[in-house]
Amino acid sequence: MVISFFQRYLLPGFIYQSVIIAGGYATGREIVEFFFAPGPAGGLLGIIVAMTIWSVTLAACFELARVTKSFDYQSYFSQTLGRFSVLFEITYMLQIILVLSIVGAAAGELLSANYGVEAIWGTMTMMAAVGVLVFFGSNLIEKFLSVWSILLYMAYGAFVILCINIFGDRIAANFMSVPIGEGWFSGGLSYSGYNLATIPAVLFCIRHINTRKEAISAGLLAGPIAMIPAIFFFVAMMGYYPEIVEQSLPVNYLLNILDVPIFKVIFEIILFGTFIETSTAMIHSINERIAVSYEHRNKKMPRLMRPVIALGILFTAIVLATKFGIVNLIASGYGTLTWVFILLIIPPLFTIGIWKIRKSKTE
């Protein structure tokens, strides 16, 4: 009963958090970029905006996926975009190349910078872990992402408690003294938009949802589940606002200030696991899309094909990033990608999607 409740109401939120965490959220860099400009209180308002947009959008998305049985992104976006669903697929692949390139490099740098291990070994370790997870499929992936997300909550909770105990006076002073600046709404909208692009990686677990109440509840809960660790991190970083803006890895900056060696090691292990989470969930969404194509031809996708696709995508993304500078190319249009995702996801969902949801209720 407890497992069933978790799968129907909480699992989609934990999967969603697992997908968005490693691209920059876990290191604090994304939080700085999107939420620091309007100051401490303004940043929190921006986070609430993003969280609200996620909750409302995911509630409608999960219900549409449930009623149309669209558990892979090709099936889902054919419901809202029809023949133009290929536009999402192209944009999504660009997003995957960017995110996996960043994650692969970050996994290598994490071990290299902190433990003197060659960066290639960190990247290879992450790739091997992803290959194992996708080989065993949805059940193992759900368990791993859920357990690691719970560990992440514990780590971020301990992190903010340590920060409050050591420099809580600085955090309070900054919240009280810095006025709310401009741009908090646009920051929240932009952040929510480009992370909504990870919806395809969550669809596989919607199979557990049976009713409209479950779908809408799971969607509304997904926003807070995904954002609470970000709120923890944001509050902690306010102790060294605004100087922490200059740090490429804010999390390392704060861990060095805390100077608790055993916690630093534990936190870095959790951080490395988030790289595996994000990579696994995104690649699994591609595998699920391919598996459905096999089903349409009355065939079953070979199991060994899953890790082969995973390793192929990871290797391609990292090679393109290092050899041809494709990350810089995509990153230069990252803002454009964000608005493309918003246009491809939100208007079709809340027009065509809502019409199909209402039609299913009538039928």
State pTM to two decimals. 0.87
Sign, Cα dihedral of 237, 240, 245, 247: negative
Distances in whole angstroms, Cα of residue 51 to Cα of each of 54, 327, 363: 5, 27, 33
More confident position, 82 or 99: 82
Taking the C-alpha atoms of 220, 345, 297 and 135 in order, what is their torsion angle to the nearest 10 degrees?
-60
pLDDT number for residue 328: 60
Cβ(114)–Cβ(268) below 8 Å: yes
Residue 353 has pLDDT above 90, yes or no: yes
More confident residue, 255 or 330: 255
In order of their start, the domains of the chain are 2-357 (1.20.1740.10)
Q: How confident is the model at residue 49 (pLDDT cuts 50, 70, 90)?
A: very high
What 3-state class would DSSP assign to 26?
coil
On whether the CB atoms of residues 232 and 157 are closer than 8 A, the answer is: yes
Residue 252's Cβ-side half-sphere holds a number of Cα atoms within 13 Å equal to 12
The amino acid at residue 253 is Y
CA–CA dist 71, 326 (Å, integer): 30
| CB 122, CB 111: distance < 8 Å | yes
Indicate the average pLDDT of the chain: 87
Nearest 5°: phi and psi at 126? Answer: -65, -45
How confident is the model over 200-259, as pLDDT tens digits?
Answer: 889 999 999 999 999 999 999 999 999 999 999 999 999 999 889 888 778 888 998 998
Overall average pLDDT of the 177-187 stretch: 91
Kindly report the backbone phi and psi dihedral angles of residue 178, in degrees, each rounded to the nearest multiple of 5, phi listed first. Answer: -95, 120
- Each residue's pLDDT tens digit, 98-141: 888 878 777 777 777 777 777 778 888 888 889 889 888 888 88
